[in-house]
Amino acid sequence: MAVSLTGTRVSAVALPWFVLVTTGSATRTGLVAFFEMTPYVLVKAFTGPLVDRAGPRAVSWTTDLVSACAAAAVPLLYAADLLSYPLLLALVAVIGAARGPGDLAKEVMVPEAAERGGIPLERATGLTGVTERLAATAGPAAGGALVALVGPLPGLMVNAGSFALGSLIVRLLLPRGLGRTAEEVPSRAGAAETGYWRRFGEGLAFLRGEPLMLTVVVMVGITNLLDAGFSSVLLPVWAKESGGGAGAIGLLGSVSGVAAVAGSLIAALAAPRLPRRAVFFIGFLLAGAPRFLVLASGAPLGAVLAVFAVSGFGSGFINPVLGAVLLERVPRRLLGRVNALGDALAWAGIPLGGLIAGAAVTSAGLVPVLLVGGAAYFLTTNLTALRPEWREMRGAGERDATQRSPGNDARSTAGSDLTG
C-alpha cells in the first residue's frame, strides 16, 4: 500500500501541474481528473464480486501492472511528441479503471493481515491510516521537488515505477495464503457461492440494510467531491496565482501529511479507547473547511502551512474510525462486494469535483469558489452529525463501558455489531 499510494501522491502533484502548464486551462485540468476518477468509481463498483471470487492478491498485482504500463506511456509519448490531449484522457482513464479494483483488493486484505498479526481491528485500520498518511507526506514532497527541479514528467515516471514495484511486492513477497478467495474464507452458511449477479445483489442488499453505513457514504461522498475539486484544481490554481508554484503544493502536502501521520499514530495506539463519534466529527471539523478559507483569505504561506498542519492532524483520525466501522459490520465473505459498492458511492462525486471546480474558477474566479466550497464542507459535516444513526458507531470499548454503567443492560447495544 505504501509503495503504490506514494506513487499516486507524486502523480497527484505532477499530473495536474503538467496539464495546467501545457494547456493553461483550469477546465482541461479538471477534465483530466474527471477522466481518471470516473472509470475508477464505475469499475470499482462492479468488481467487488470478482475480487471475492478471484482473490484480492491476484487482483491487486495484475491491476497494478496495468496501471504501471498506462502511467509510463504518458511521459514516453510526450517525449516522443505523440501525446495528444485526447490520448492523455484515454491513458488516465485506463489508470483509473485499473486503480479501482487494485485499491479495493488491498483494502480487503487488511482484516486477514490483522488476524495474522494478532492485533485489534481498530489498530490495524489505524496502521493502514498511518501508511496512507506517510504516502501523503512523502508523495507530495517528492512530487513537488521533482516538478520544481526538473518538470512534471519525472514525477509521472515515478508513479509508473511505484505501480510496477507494488505489483512485484504483492505477487512475490506477501505471506503464502494471504489474500484468499471468498470460497476459501469460512462463511456462516458454510457453502460456496456462485454467480456474479447473486454476489453483487447480496452486497447491495446488505448495504441497503445498514442505515449507518448509508449515512456515512452520503456524507463522505459530498466531502470527497469537495476535496477532489480542491486538490486537483483549486490548490494548483492558487499555487500558480500566488507565485508559490508546484513547490508550494508539495510543501503544503508534506506538512499536512506529517501532521496526519501523527494523528493516525495516535488513532492506531488509542483507537480502542477513543469515543468514535466525537473523534470522527472533530476530525472532519479540522480537516475540511479551514483549508478552503485560509487560501481564500490571501494569508501568507506561513499561516497557510499552520492551517494545513492542523487540518492534516484532524484528518489522521477519520479513516481509522471509518475503516474499523466497516470491517466490524461486514461479514468477511461479503467484504469485497460491500466495500466496492460503498467506496464507489462515496467516491461518485470525485470525478465531478475537478470538473465543477475548473468550470467554476473559469467563470467566477478562485476566491468565491473557495468560500463556497468551505461553507459547503462545514454545513455537510455538521448537519449530518444530527442524524440518529451515528449512535451505532460505538466501538467495543464504548459498548463495554455502557454495559457496565448503572441502569444499562446489554440490550442498549443491540444491532451495533454485525460482524460475520
Q: What is the mean predicted confidence (pLDDT) over 119-138?
A: 77
The radius of gyration computed from the CA coordinates of the chain, to the nearest angstrom, equals 21
Q: Mean pLDDT highest for which of 20-24, 66-70, 179-183?
A: 66-70
Residues 132/322, Cβ–Cβ less than 8 Å: no
Per-residue model confidence (pLDDT) at position 410:
32
Residue 125, C-alpha cell as written in the block:
485500520
Q: What is the mean predicted confidence (pLDDT) over 392-406?
A: 51
CA torsion angle 237 241 247 251 (round to 10): -70
Per-residue model confidence (pLDDT) at position 204:
83
Tell me the C-alpha to C-alpha distance, in Å, between residue 285 and each of 182, 279, 309, 378. Answer: 38, 10, 13, 7
What's the angle, vertex CA 322, arms to CA 416 and CA 369, rounded to 5? 130
- Reported confidence tier of residue 281, pLDDT bands at 50, 70, 90: confident
Q: Which residue has the higher pLDDT, 170 or 176?
A: 170
Residues 291/308, Cβ–Cβ less than 8 Å: yes
Per-residue model confidence (pLDDT) at position 194:
60
Name the percent of the chain lying above pLDDT 70: 89
Q: What is the pTM of this model?
A: 0.66
pLDDT above 80 for 184:
no
Q: Which residue has the higher pLDDT, 46 or 325?
A: 46
Predicted confidence (pLDDT) per residue in 334-358, tens digit: 777 787 788 778 878 887 888 888 8
Q: What is the mean predicted confidence (pLDDT) over 365-373?
A: 93
Per-residue model confidence (pLDDT) at position 343:
78
pLDDT above 70 for 107:
yes
Sorted by sequence, the CB contacts under 8 Å of residue 410 that are 6+ apart come out as 403
Check the CA dihedral 316-320-325-331 and report its sign: positive
pLDDT above 80 for 235:
yes
Q: How far apart are CA 20 and CA 144, in angstroms?
A: 14
Per-residue model confidence (pLDDT) at position 293:
93
Q: What is the mean predicted confidence (pLDDT) over 284-309?
A: 91
Predicted confidence (pLDDT) per residue in 194-214, tens digit: 677 787 888 888 888 888 888
Query: To which residue does cell 444513526 refer?
Result: 389
Residue 130, C-alpha cell as written in the block:
498511518
Tell me the C-alpha to C-alpha distance, in Å, between residue 305 and each of 39, 256, 264, 294. Answer: 33, 8, 19, 10
What's the angle, vertex CA 204, arms to CA 217 and CA 194, rounded to 5? 145
- In the chain, what are the domains? 2-179+196-395 (1.20.1250.20)
Q: Mean pLDDT highest for which of 19-28, 126-135, 232-241, 349-358?
A: 232-241
Per-residue model confidence (pLDDT) at position 186:
47
pLDDT above 80 for 40:
yes
Per-residue model confidence (pLDDT) at position 369:
93
Q: What is the mean predicted confidence (pLDDT) over 285-313?
A: 91
pLDDT above 60 for 415:
no
